Amino acid sequence: MLYDLFKYLDELGYSGAGLYQYLSFRAGIAIIISLLISMVFGGKIIDYLKRLQVGETVRDLGLAGQKEKEGTPTMGGIIIFMSIFIPCMLMCNLTNDYIILMLVATTWMGMVGFADDYIKVFRKDKKGLSGKFKVLGQVGLGLIVALTMLFSDQMVVRMTPGEWDKRGLSEENIIKKDYINVGNERVLMYYGKTTLTNVPFFKDNKLDYGRILPFFGDNWQQFAWIVFVPVVIIIVTAVSNGANLTDGIDGLATGTSAIIGAALGALAYVSSNAIAADYLKIMFLPEADELVIYAACFVGACIGFLWYNSYPAQIFMGDTGSLMIGGVIASMAVLIRKELLIPILCGIFLVENLSVMIQVSYFKYTRKKYGEGRRVFLMSPLHHHYQKKGMHESKIVTRFWIVGILLAVLTVITLKIR
């Protein structure tokens, strides 16, 4: 909204209006607005939820400090949603397909999570939304993201004709051809749709999902979606569930997500900057610069929510928040074609997921073999294991954040490690 207004004012010659066109300026303002919305309206929303008696019912897991959390308002993901959506509407170019898709992803998973929390709180059903409907929502988002990338004329990659031909890409997928200045030369560039993605640690640093289907011969491009769509669905589902499992103690999922969001913002910037992308030998995504603004809104929303969610939490994000932030992180990673970095960047989510899978699998195996179930961890997910060992949850959260920062830095460094 404000983007179009200030663009119009700049065209009319109003002094200072052109400042709004700078990415860094809009990103900074977006973070400020997002933080203010979280901090100013967060308290009012908490008071309102208390009046509605929207309190968390805590199962007795024998953890220290658990009883004190009984009745703490939940559905705090509403605060995160507002703090992302409103600044995006104000600061982003709303004609950009990347932004439209991210707003759809935010709303979509927010609604799935809200439905789950609503059933738990207002209908007093502790099971919440059926697991199959949650998965259906995650699969639906993955499908939306994948198909949009396949058909959008804005979500293109820029390459030289030589690079395009080297990868055996079809001319049918070229959206436009244009000349750019490279030093003193005019160089022809192709802008086209492709299922290429960046691969860490390899010299060429690029993989086309269609190449996994060699048995289709020269027609492999026509069938690339057969691999691409399921991969995106799996990524969205896994990361969303990982964020949901991580949301178990005060501030853990929120702080971890803020760190991941900051790294994604940095990756979006270098991917949408021609000079940086050329230097790092990664794909240049011409229209993806608006995702830097979205990442700023996301980081601001998560940090602002920590104002109330840090220990001792005044509100929990609930599935409204956890499913949403997981879906958002996965969608953005796929859009900037860095989804293969998720195991590193979202290492906290991955470990939390794996700890549950290992615990359940080993328990079932030992119960079948020995007649009694045995456990690898004192409790899963992993953060509860450390709670059982007597570690205070504030220390657990802080240490997980530190690991998250290390993983985020390592993720960015992989762009230069071949």
What is the pTM for the complete model shown?
Answer: 0.93
Q: What is the pLDDT along the chain (418 residues), one digit of tens a residue?
A: 676 776 767 677 777 767 777 888 999 999 999 999 999 999 999 988 888 876 666 665 666 656 667 778 888 999 999 999 999 999 999 999 999 999 999 999 999 999 999 998 888 777 888 888 999 999 999 999 999 999 999 999 998 888 888 777 777 788 888 888 877 788 888 899 888 898 888 877 788 887 777 666 666 677 788 889 999 999 999 999 999 999 889 999 999 999 999 999 999 999 999 889 988 888 899 999 999 999 999 999 999 999 999 998 899 999 999 999 999 999 999 999 999 999 999 999 999 999 999 999 999 999 988 888 899 999 989 999 999 999 999 999 999 999 999 999 999 999 888 7
Query: Which residue, 224, 162, 341, 196, is CA-closest to 283?
Result: 196
45, amino acid identity: I
Cα–Cα dist 400/230, whole Å: 30
Do the Cβ atoms of 349 and 242 come closer than 8 Å? yes
b vs e for 26-56, b when ≥16 Cβ sit within 10 Å of the residue's Cβ?
A: bbebbbebbbebbbebbeebbeebeeeebbb
Q: How many CB atoms lie within 10 A of CB 341?
A: 24
3-state SS, residue 192: strand
